Amino acid sequence: MNDALLLSRYKLITFLACRRRFQLRYLAEAAWPAAPLAVADEARLGLGQQFHQLVQRHFLGLKIEPATIDDRTLRGWWLTFERFLPQLPHGRALPELTLTIPIGQHLLHGRFDLLIIGETDGRAFAHLYDWKTGRQPDETTLRHDWQTRLYLAMLAEGGQALWGEGQTPLLPEQISLTYWYVTAPTKPHTFVYSPAWHKQNWTEIRAIVAQIEAQPNTGGVWPLTEDRAQCRVCAYQALCGRQEVDTPALSATEVAVSLLAGEADEETDDLLALPLEPALP
Ligand code: SF4
C-alpha cells in the first residue's frame, strides 16, 4: 500500500489480530458499533478518564481539592495518588504528551500520561509514567505489552526531538517507563530500556509495518484471521460471513470491551485494556 498511515499501538494490535479487521476499521472506515457497556462498566470508564484528567491538572500545576471531588471512588483514587505517588526525577514534566515519529513512509503515534525529561550527571534521560485504575498484571505481561514496547521504542528512535535541534539520540538505557496502579499503589513497575531490548522491539515493529505495506492496495480483501476466537469479539462478523463461530460466546462485558478497544483515543484505550471490575482503593 502507498498511503502514509498514522499507526498507534492499537492499530498494530488490530493488524496482528486480523488483517481484514485492520483494513475494514482503518482503511475502509467501516462503522464500528458503539459497545453496549453495562451501566457499572460505563461509569468505571468515565471515572478512569476523570482520574487521568485530575492527574493531568496536577502536573499542569493546578491545585486539586479532594473535597470538591464528588464521587467517592474517584476521591479515594485521588487521595491514594497523592499519598503514594512515586518519587519523580527532577526535570521537565510533560503531561499528556503526544509523540509522533516516522517509520518508513508511515508515522508511529503515542500519547503518554506523563513524560519527564532532564539531565542527570550531564546525561539526558526520559522517564515515562503511566497511571492505571484497573488490576495490576504481572511484570512479564507488562513487559510484553505493546504499550511498553512501542512507547520505549518510540522514545529511543525519536525522543531527542523533545530537546530541540542538536540533541543526540537518546540511548535506550537513558529511557525508563513506570506503571503506577491505584489498586497497587506501593508496587509501581519500572522498566529500564536496554540496547538489546530496543533492537528486538524495533526490528519487530518495523517487520509489522512492512507487513502492512505489503498488503494489496487495489481494493482486494486482506487475509481473514485463522483465529476464530477473534471473530467472536469483532463487529465485522457479518461482513466476513463469520457469524457462526463454533466457540463459546463471550459475556456482554467481554464483547463490549473488545468492541470499544479499537477507539483511537489512546487514553480510552488505556482504560479499556484493563479489567472493568470495580476495584475500590
Ligand atoms: S470477523 Fe473475524 S475475520 Fe472478519 S474482520 Fe473480524 S476478526 Fe477478522
Residue 85: the pLDDT is 93
The tens digit of pLDDT for each residue in 192-247 reads: 999 999 999 999 999 999 999 999 877 789 999 999 999 988 889 999 998 865 54
Q: Is the pLDDT of residue 86 over 70?
A: yes
The tens digit of pLDDT for each residue in 126-169 reads: 999 999 999 999 999 999 999 999 999 999 999 888 887 777 78
> For residues 278 and 1, which has the higher predicted lDDT (pLDDT)?
1
Arithmetic mean of pLDDT, 247-251: 45
Q: What is the DSSP letter of 60?
A: T
Residue 246: the pLDDT is 54
How many percent of the chain have pLDDT more than 70? 83
Q: Is the pLDDT of residue 252 over 70?
A: no
The ligand 1 site (C-beta within 6 Å) comprises: 18, 20-21, 24, 224-225, 230-231, 234, 236-237, 240, 242
Domain ranges (residues) in the chain? 6-272
What pTM does this model have? Answer: 0.85
Is 172 exposed, middle or buried (CB count within 10 Å of its CB: 0-12, 13-18, 19+)? buried
Residue 34: the pLDDT is 58
| Ramachandran region, residue 119 (left: φ > 0; alpha: ψ -120 to 50; beta: rest) | beta
Minimal-distance CA residue to ligand 1 atom 5: 21
Please, what is the average pLDDT of the chain? 85
The Cβ of residue 63 has, within 10 Å, a number of other Cβ atoms equal to: 6
Q: Which atom of ligand 1 is nearest to the CA of 240?
A: 4
Q: What is the β-pairing status of strands 123-132 and 6-7?
A: unpaired
**Whole-number Å distance between alpha carbons of 140 and 150:** 16
Phi, psi values for residue 79, rounded to 5° = -65, -35
Q: Which atom of ligand 1 is nearest to the CA of 230?
A: 7
Q: Is the pLDDT of residue 62 over 60?
A: yes
SS3 186: strand
Q: Is the pLDDT of residue 267 over 60?
A: no
Q: Which of 231, 243, 246, 255 should be mutated for ligand 1, with most atoms under 8 A from CB?
A: 231
Q: Is the pLDDT of residue 172 over 70?
A: yes
Ligand 1 centroid from CA 230, angstroms:
7
Domain covering 6-272 in this structure, CATH number: 3.90.320.10
The cell numbers describing 248, all together, are: 463459546
DSSP string, 15-58: HHH-HHHHIIIIIS----PPP---HHHHHHHHHHHHHHHHHHHH
Q: Which atom of ligand 1 is nearest to the CA of 24?
A: 5
> For residues 11 and 249, which has the higher predicted lDDT (pLDDT)?
11
